[in-house]
Amino acid sequence: MKRAPWGYAVDNGPACWALLDPDYRLCGCGAEQSPVNLVDARAAQLPSLRFDYGLVRAAIEDTHATVQFNAAPGHGLMIGRRRHELRQFHFHHASEHLVEGIRWPMELHFVHTDIKGGLTVVGVFIREGEANSAVESLWQALVDDPESLDHVDVDLTALLPGSTRAWRYRGSLTTPPCSEGVSWIVLTDILTLSARQIAAFTNYRPANCRPVQPLGARVLTIC
Ligand SMILES: [Zn+2]
């Protein structure tokens, strides 16, 4: 069955999502929702992260929430010995997660699935600074006629900051249906985009971020 349309406006935004469709009820009553404010994390020994990312061809999909880049197979994230295949990546303006209450200009999400279908999302904060060459090619999708441009080739390693130090917690999709059971990994290192690159996305999607949700009984770790 077709699900109800949703967005980020007053009449269809995050505060209303649970009311728009019964399938979205977790957006209102879920106990392990995302994003969250990243504060008071507990230092922990966790399986190491290794990005097996490279040059990828990504199909452009203009969802109404964002522009999504669907990655061709062959790129993934190793968490310990378990591989998580990259499916797609997309951007939010402003950031969805906060760091000690501070919001960054943008946040990039890499969405992975493992062999059992489990979801792992890697979040990367973006601040204003030097331009990013990989984003330059991605942003063609924001201006070009979708009919004429259906994919881009991008070096994923240029979209990762240097360190794999990250906050980790159990959360949800940040968009309807807000499904839970998502493993979140939010890198502490921050990527830079130029002011012009941030403005280009802001013009395209002025606000596509969900407010932070209560952490509740969950434990936030950092490693
Ligand atoms: Zn996202």
Residue 10 lies in a domain: no
Taking residues 183-193, report their average pLDDT.
Answer: 98
CA of 91 to the centre of ligand 1 (A): 6
- 11 part of a folded domain: no
Residue 2 has pLDDT above 90, yes or no: no
pLDDT band at 37 (very low <50, low <70, confident <90, very high): very high
Alpha carbon of 90 to ligand 1 centroid (Å):
6
Number of domains in the chain: 1
Question: What's the pLDDT band for 35 if we cut at 50, 70, 90?
Answer: very high
Residue 17 has pLDDT above 90, yes or no: yes
The answer to whether residue 39 scores a pLDDT higher than 70 is yes
Q: Residue 148 Cα, ligand 1 centroid: separation in angstroms?
A: 26
Determine what percent of the chain is predicted with pLDDT higher than 70. Answer: 98
Confidence of residue 146 (pLDDT cuts 50, 70, 90): low
Give the domain extent around 190.
Answer: 35-211+218-222
pLDDT computed for residue 1 by the predictor: 67
Whether 16 is in a domain gets the answer no
> Ligand 1 center to residue 155 CA distance, Å?
20
Q: Is the pLDDT of residue 201 over 90?
A: yes
C-alpha of residue 98 to centroid of ligand 1, in Å? 14
The pLDDT, as a whole number, for residue 50 is 98
Q: How far is the CA of 125 from the centre of ligand 1 (A)?
A: 12
Q: How crowded is residue 161: how many other Cβ atoms within 10 Å of its Cβ?
A: 15
pLDDT at residue 148 in the model: 75
Confidence of residue 182 (pLDDT cuts 50, 70, 90): very high
Average pLDDT over residues 34-50: 97
> What's 193's domain CATH number?
3.10.200.10
The reply to whether 76 falls in a domain is yes
SS3 letters for the chain? CCCCCCCCCCCCCCCCHHHHCHHHCHHHHCCCCCCCEECCCEECCCCCEEEECCEEEEEEEECCCCEEEEECCCCEEEECCEEEEEEEEEEEECCCCEECCEECCEEEEEEEECCCCCEEEEEEEEEECCCCHHHHHHCHHHHCCCCCCCEEEEEHHHHCCCCCCEEEEEEECCCCCCCEEEEEEEECCCEEECHHHHHHHHHHCCCCCCCCCCCCCCCCEEC
Tell me how far the alpha carbon of residue 130 lies from the centroid of ligand 1, in angstroms: 23
Answer yes or no: is 131 within a domain.
yes
Q: What is the 92 CA–ligand 1 centroid distance (Å)?
A: 6
